[in-house]
Amino acid sequence: MKKTLVIFILFLIIFLGLLFRLKGIQSNHSFWSDEAYGAGLARDIITGEKTPLIALSRLNYEPLFILTESVFLRIFGHNEFSARIPVVLLGTAGILGAFLLAFKLSGISAGLLAAFISAFSQINLANSTQAKPYSILQTLLLFEIYALILLHENKKNNSKIHLLIIFLCLTSTFFHLLGTLFWLPYFFYLTYGKQYKFNKHRINLFYIFLICCSAILLFALYYYRINFSNHLTYFRELFWSQYSLFSLSALFGFIYSLKYRKIVHLGIFALIAVYLFLWTFAHYTHNVRYILPLFSLLFVYFSVFWSEVGRRFFKQKSSVVCIIIAMLLYLGGIKIVRKPVNYYNPNSDLYGDVQIADYKTAFGLISEKFPRLDNVAVFNDWYDTQYWYLKNKLVTAYFIKGYEKPKPFPVDQTMSYGTLNQFLKVKNKYSKGLLIVEDWESFLPEDIKQYAKKNMKREFRVDGLPQAQGDNWPLEVYSWGL
C-alpha cells in the first residue's frame, strides 16, 4: 500500500511538472538570440542548406543538442515549440532523477521532496522551457551521480553500471562542452585510493589523475586565453540573497551524506568546487543558465537535510517535516511556481540573465510592412534572431561595440563596424535601409543608437515580450529612404 501510494505521488508530481513545462511553451513565444541561433542551425540541417558537419562546426560546443533539435523540427515543424519540446521532455526526466538520488541518500521522504522542488522550482521551469541544453545537463548529472552510488554499493558485476556512467558522461559532453566537467566524479571514484604496480613500484593513480587534471586546466587556460573575472558579487547574490535557505540546508545535507559515501561525495565536491571556480572567476559572464546543473544537487541535498531532521525528531513519522517544508515552499511561493503560466521568466533570480525581447513580433512587422527587401539594406548588431525570423534577408552590415577596425563577422563573414563615422559611410552606400535597435545596453554602439533616434524615421517600437510582463527589452526599427 505504501509503495503504491509513493508511486502514485511521484507519477503525479512528474505529470504535473510536464504539464507546467508544456504550458510554458505552448504560446510559441519569441526566441531570444541563443535559442534562435541553435534552432536556425538545426533547421538548416533538415532543409539541406547546411551539411550536419558544417552546421555543427558553427556551434561546436553543443553538437548533440543541435541534432536533437533537428529531429524535433522535422517531426513537429519549424517553430519555437518544436525546438523547445526536447528540453521539456528531458528536463521533466530530471524530476525522476532527483527522486532517485535523494531516495538513495535519505529515503522516500527526501526523494518526494526533491522531486517536488525539481518539478516546480522557478529556475528549473524557466530553463526547461528554453531551447538550450542546460536542463538536459541537469538531468544527466542526477542520473550519473545516482549510478555512481550504485557502483559504490555493488562491488561485483558492475560492468553495466560503468558503461551507463560512461554513456551519461559522453552524452553530457556532446550536449554541451560543460558536460566535460561531469567526468570528474567518475574519474575521482576510479582513482581515489587505487594503486597500480609497475616495475615493483606502487603508483598512486589518484596523483596521476590530479596531474592530468592540472595539465588539462593549464592547457585550457592557455588555449582559450581565459581572462580571469570576479563574479563574487553575483555568486553572493544568487546563492545567498536568493537561495540562502536552500544553500545552507544543502550544505548540511551534503556534510551528512559525506559520512556514508565518502569517495562518491569527495568526487561530487571536486565537481562543485571546479564548477563554481570557473563560473565565478574564469568565465567571461555570470549567466545563471551555465550553473544550472548544480541546482539539481542543491535541491537534492536540501531535501536530504530536511528528511534527516524529520528522522531525528519524529523517527517513524519523519515524512512530517518534508511535508511541512513542501507546503511552506508552495504556500509562500519560495522559488516555487504555484500554477502553470505561459512564461517562466529566466531573469527572476538575476536580472538581465536573458535578453528576452520580442524578436518574433519585430521581424514579423518588418516582413509585413516591407514585403520586398531585395534592394533594402538591413543593419543589425548580431546574427542569430534575424537568421531565424527573417530568413530570406541576411544582414547587410553589422555594427558592434569594440569593432573600431572593420572586420568580417565570424558567423557569416559579413563586414562588421563599430563607430558612428563608419555607420554613416556605409549607410550612404545604400539609398534605402533599415536599422534594428536593441534599446538597452546591447552590442550596438550607443552613439549610433542616438543618431538613429534623432535623425532617422522610427518605423515602430516593440516594447517587450507580451508573456514576460514587467520585464521589457524594447526593440526599435529605424529607416531611411523608405
Every domain of the chain and the residues it spans: 3-28+79-198+227-332, 359-480
Give the distance from CA 440 to its chain's centroid.
23
Q: How far apart are CA 178 and CA 354, in angstroms?
A: 19
pLDDT of residue 298: 97
Closest residue by Cα to residue 466 from 121, 28, 36, 38: 28
Strand partners, 397: 379
pLDDT of residue 226: 67
* Phi, psi of 209, deg, nearest 5: -60, -45
pLDDT of residue 220: 66
Please report which helix (H) or strand (E) contains residue 458, including its range. strand 457-462
CA Rg, the chain, in Å?
Answer: 25
pLDDT of residue 400: 96
Closest residue by Cα to residue 186 from 221, 251, 140: 140
Would you state the cell numbers that stand for residue 36, as one nine-digit string?
534562435
Through-space distance between the first and last CA atoms of the chain, rounded to whole angstroms: 73
pLDDT of residue 100: 98
Q: What global pTM score does this model have?
A: 0.93
pLDDT of residue 221: 66
Q: How far apart are CA 321 and CA 309, in angstroms?
A: 7
Q: What is the dihedral of CA 36, 41, 47, 50, to 10 degrees?
A: 150
| Local confidence pLDDT in tens for the 482 residues of the chain | 588 999 999 999 999 999 999 999 999 999 999 999 999 999 999 999 999 999 999 998 999 999 999 999 999 999 999 999 999 999 999 999 999 999 999 999 999 999 999 999 999 999 999 999 999 999 999 999 999 999 998 877 788 999 999 999 999 999 999 999 999 999 999 888 676 655 556 667 777 777 877 777 776 666 556 667 888 999 999 999 999 999 999 999 999 999 888 999 999 999 999 999 989 988 778 899 999 999 999 999 999 999 999 988 887 777 899 999 999 999 999 999 999 999 999 999 988 889 999 999 999 999 999 988 989 999 999 999 999 999 889 999 999 998 989 999 988 999 999 999 999 999 999 999 999 999 999 999 999 999 999 999 999 999 999 999 889 999 999 999 98
pLDDT of residue 264: 94
Q: How far apart are CA 437 and CA 104, in angstroms?
A: 52
Residues 6+ apart with CB under 8 A from 396: 377, 378, 379, 414, 430, 433
Q: How far apart are CA 389 and CA 69, in angstroms?
A: 17
Strand partners, 197: 202
pLDDT of residue 1: 59
pLDDT of residue 328: 96
Contact 461, 452 (CB under 8 A): no
